[in-house]
Amino acid sequence: MGNRVILGKRGNDYGVFVSKEGHNVLNCARKELLFDSTSHRSGLVYAGAKGLSLSTTPDNFLTTGSKGNLGYIPLVVFTEKNIGERGAHGSGTEMYIDNISQWETTTSTVCPIEAQANPEDGTDTISSMDHPNPALGRTYGDFNTAEEEAVNCAYFVLRIPCAYGYMTSANFG
């Protein structure tokens, strides 16, 4: 059985190191470590939920336990019933999305969303970047509701910043 835990020196580094099963923590590659204290962030789960059915109302992940706002938009990992591509032909239209499981995250909420890309309406141009923002909820016109709805959703809010403006040395240094 390999050495699994170091509290002290590993190579030229000092800290806490835990390796995966079957890997010697003394000399294994960093990718084989379960925990590495030379990292600046780890997957600490700050909040989460499971078994939710969500529509257009954002779910506030700070309310349970009255959690404090982290001060940044965090990385949130999702899973739900509907995953992967969706596509449909309508009357004169064709709709396609490469992953139906799209989400909006804020500093306090998560919400399923649908893309809003419709260049055929004559008002959107690539140069002006004036496509509307994604809309809350999922009600694509040509998709089967049962194959787009956000049900049996689970998510984990990690104490890791993940948004424009927050990927800074103050948060990762």
Partner 1 sequence: MANRVLLGKGTSQRGGTDKFGLWVSKPGQDVLTCADDKLIFDTDKGGSADIKGLFQLQTVTGTATASATATVSAGATVNLSFTNFSWGFGVIPFLGLAATTSGDQTGFSNGRFKINSFSTSAVNITNLTSNATVAVSFSVMPSFSNNARF
How far CA 16 is from CA of 7, 25, 33, 36, 113, in Å, comes to 5, 10, 10, 6, 40
Q: How near is the Cβ of 109 to partner 1 at its closest, in Å?
A: 12
Least gap, CB of 131 to partner 1 (angstroms):
24
| Positive/negative CA dihedral, 64, 70, 73, 75 | negative
Q: Which is nearer to partner 1, 124 or 142 (CB)?
A: 142
**How far is residue 4's CA from residue 115's CA, in Å, rounded to a whole number?**
46
Please report which helix (H) or strand (E) contains residue 170, including its range. helix 169-172
Q: How far is the CB of 164 from partner 1 (least distance, A)?
A: 19
| Beta-bridge mates of residue 153 | 52
Up-side HSE of residue 155: CA atoms within 13 Å toward CB? 27
**Of 140 and 156, which CB lies nearer to partner 1 in the complex structure?**
156
- Give the integer Cα–Cα distance in Å for 5 and 79: 32
Q: Which is nearer to partner 1, 23 or 131 (CB)?
A: 23
Q: How far is the CB of 140 from partner 1 (least distance, A)?
A: 13
Backbone angles phi, psi at 85, to 5 degrees: -65, 155
Q: Report the nearest approach of partner 1 to the CB of residue 136 (Å).
A: 19
Nearer to partner 1, 59 or 104 (CB): 59
Q: Report the interface residues with partner 1, using CB under 8 A.
A: 7, 14-16, 20-22, 34-35, 37-52, 61, 63-68, 70-71, 77, 79-86, 100, 147, 152, 154, 156, 158-159, 173
Q: What would you report as the CA-atom Rg of the chain, rounded to the nearest whole angstrom?
A: 21
> By C-beta, is 42 or 118 nearer to partner 1?
42
